[in-house]
């Protein structure tokens, strides 16, 4: 009796989570170096992403303060930001480098995702990665990830790239204001210098009905 050959395994849209490329895979890939930072656990947090072209040149740099959260959540935010940046640019082949062993091993499937806070972020990152033609995530030592780390810390400090956090002075001032024609109009003079940059946190006060 003639034996039928076993069915071929289903092909995925991307070769995921392997380290490194196979010897026969010579197609160029983009690189994203990512890092998440949190001062405290939880505490003020941010992320940094350096996106590089196949030739190694930096083509984008992203840094964002994301509020108060944990370091692990910040790392996932960095990964998702890198994946979103790649999708926006039409990038189909992407390599991620991170110094977070937890993030990398969870994405590779070596570690389970036990945290309820990380599970939706992990699922979102996995879904985005699977839309790519090629995706690899690899763990690198912290010293090889200094640029992304510096970018994350700049975002956390609220400084622009190249500025020194040591020269930055902050002060908090509570100001009452009214909304007039879509703009905030302070109720009293502001003690800020002309052209000084400020960060606003707005709270609305409404009278309760009698």
CATH number reported for the structural domain that contains residue 109 in this entry: 3.30.420.10
Q: Is the pTM of this model over 0.85?
A: no
Q: Does an H or E element contain 179, and which?
A: strand 177-180
Alpha helices, H only, 29-100: 71-88
107 neighbors 137 (Cβ within 8 angstroms): yes
What total of structural domains would you count in the chain? 1
Beta bridge partners of 31: 52, 95
Position 184 in a domain: no
| 92 touches 138 (CB < 8 A) | no
Number of helical H runs and strand E runs in the chain: 4, 8
Q: Confirm whether 168 is domain-assigned.
A: no
Domain that holds residue 156: 15-161
Residue 173 lies in a domain: no
pLDDT below 70 — which residues of the chain? 1-26, 159-175, 181-182, 190-210
- Is 143 part of a structural domain of the chain? yes
Tell me what pLDDT residue 202 has: 62
Q: What is the pLDDT of residue 184?
A: 73
Which residues have CB under 8 Å from 196's CB, separation 6+? none
What digits encode the pLDDT tens for the residues 55-86? 999 999 999 999 999 999 999 999 999 999 99
């Amino acid at each position: 009796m003639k034996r039928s050959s076993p069915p071929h395994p289903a092909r995925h849209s991307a070769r995921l989570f392997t380290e490194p490329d196979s010897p026969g895979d010579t197609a160029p890939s983009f690189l994203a170096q990512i890092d998440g930072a949190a001062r405290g656990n939880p505490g003020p947090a941010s992320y940094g992403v350096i996106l590089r072209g196949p030739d190694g040149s930096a083509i984008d740099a992203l840094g964002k303060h994301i509020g108060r959260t944990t370091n692990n959540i910040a790392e996932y935010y960095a990964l998702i930001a890198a994946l979103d940046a790649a999708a926006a640019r039409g990038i189909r082949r992407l390599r991620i480098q991170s110094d977070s062993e937890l993030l990398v091993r969870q994405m590779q499937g070596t570690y389970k995702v036990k945290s309820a806070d990380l599970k939706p972020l992990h699922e979102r990152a996995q879904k985005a990665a699977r839309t790519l033609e090629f995706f690899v995530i690899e763990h690198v030592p912290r010293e090889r990830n200094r640029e992304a780390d510096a970018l994350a810390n700049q975002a956390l400090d609220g400084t622009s790239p190249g500025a020194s956090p040591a020269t930055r002075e902050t002060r908090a001032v509570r100001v009452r204001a009214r909304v007039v024609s879509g703009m905030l109009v302070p109720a009293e003079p502001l003690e800020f210098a002309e052209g000084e940059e400020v960060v606003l946190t707005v709270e609305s006060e409404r009278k309760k009905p009698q």
